[in-house]
Amino acid sequence: MPETPGPGTDRLMELLSVSLGAYYGDFTAAAAAEGLTASQGKTLSVLRRGPSAMRALATTLACDASNMTGIIDRLEKRALVRREPSPTDRRVKTVLLTAEGERTVDAIRAGMHTTLAGLEALPDADRGALEDLLERVFTAPARGGPTP
Amino acid sequence: MPETPGPGTDRLMELLSVSLGAYYGDFTAAAAAEGLTASQGKTLSVLRRGPSAMRALATTLACDASNMTGIIDRLEKRALVRREPSPTDRRVKTVLLTAEGERTVDAIRAGMHTTLAGLEALPDADRGALEDLLERVFTAPARGGPTP
DNA sequence: TATTGTTATACTCTATAACTATA
DNA sequence: TATAGTTATAGAGTATAACAATA
């Protein structure tokens, strides 16, 4: 297990940086086409998977809880999301997409032309390979015994 | 050529969102460990490849030219970059990393522990495959005749 | 006591428009 | 006239600290 990342890792890191930049730029442009910022678009995307409490939303988005208030305020003002009191814990507010919010998320995703074109150009076999590799690099919990 | 992106594309988009989100979070944390914002870290990363005029920098970072002034101001105040007048065009200012700036970029990259661990866990063959796939999806200029 | 959501504050990022100095 | 960099401005994101309501 080398402590110095090899030159192969260097190249991959660089490539990931470029890929992220392209993906993020595409996403930002698609969100802007709907009159939304990247953070607002990302928030809607997360809510697409289901309702979420304010605090859970902040955790998922990796930002401070105090930020969510403003972001949700603006989205709610545009009727893309709705705040609902939790029935079980009166401190908690559950945020959920409105029908218009759902339509907007889908529009953003459909507007990511560059990324979609890049993926559509990929043969099915390569598509499966890419899925597999991304999962192994990014969603494997990096376990491997952090020396206890 | 289907106009509706198949369900396979759906899954890949979701996976890309999660993967690049993880990469971005890792990068942001590593930059914060050096007392920098993500935008400042990204700016340093771009300058790692070589000096650049203010406007070219803005173009590379996909932001308005007026933003660069503030970002470079703050980096220069911390002696991570330097502004130099261009010898050939007196309107142009060339920005370049200082030695401390170079050290900082390297520290940020070395601080991306989660991403580095995920990549290091990948066998060489898979590493090459991932490079190949990312290149094809994101750095292929999406040519294919936008109907003229 | 601890937690949820909010407010207040300060700083950064971001785009638009207008300005200057060059070209 | 066109371009490079800057300034002014306004809106949005961000973290920290403090707060009220609830657990």
Instruction: Look up the CATH number of the domain holding residue A43.
Output: 1.10.10.10
- A42 assigned to some structural domain: yes
Return the pLDDT at A6. 66
> What percentage of chain A exceeds 70 in pLDDT?
90
pLDDT value at residue B4: 60
B126 domain residue, yes or no: no
A68-127 pLDDT, tens digit per residue, is: 999 999 999 999 999 999 999 999 999 999 999 999 999 999 999 999 999 999 999 999
Q: State pTM to two decimals.
A: 0.91
Instruction: Provide the 3-class DSSP secondary structure of residue A20.
Output: helix
Residue–nucleotide distance: B52 CA to D3 C1' (Å): 16
Element of type H or E holding B71: helix B65-77
How many Å apart are B94 CA and D17 C1'?
A: 40
- B126 contact residues in A (CB cutoff 8 A): 133, 136
B72 within a domain of the structure (yes/no): yes
Residue B74: Cβ within 10 Å count? 16
Among residues 92-131 of chain B, which lie with CB inside 8 Å of chain A? 109, 112, 114-122, 124, 126-131
Residue A81 in any domain: the answer is: yes
**Residue B50: inside a domain:** yes
Q: Total domain count for chain B?
A: 1
Give a yes or no: residue B66 inside a domain.
Answer: yes
The pLDDT of residue B6? 66
Domain span holding position B74: 32-114
Residue A24 lies inside a defined structural domain of this protein: no
Q: Is residue A26 part of a domain?
A: no
Task: Write the burial class of residue B35 (CB in 10 Å: 0-12 exposed, 13-18 middle, 19+ buried).
Answer: exposed
Q: What are B103-144's pLDDT values in tens digits?
A: 999 999 999 999 999 999 999 999 999 999 999 999 876 434
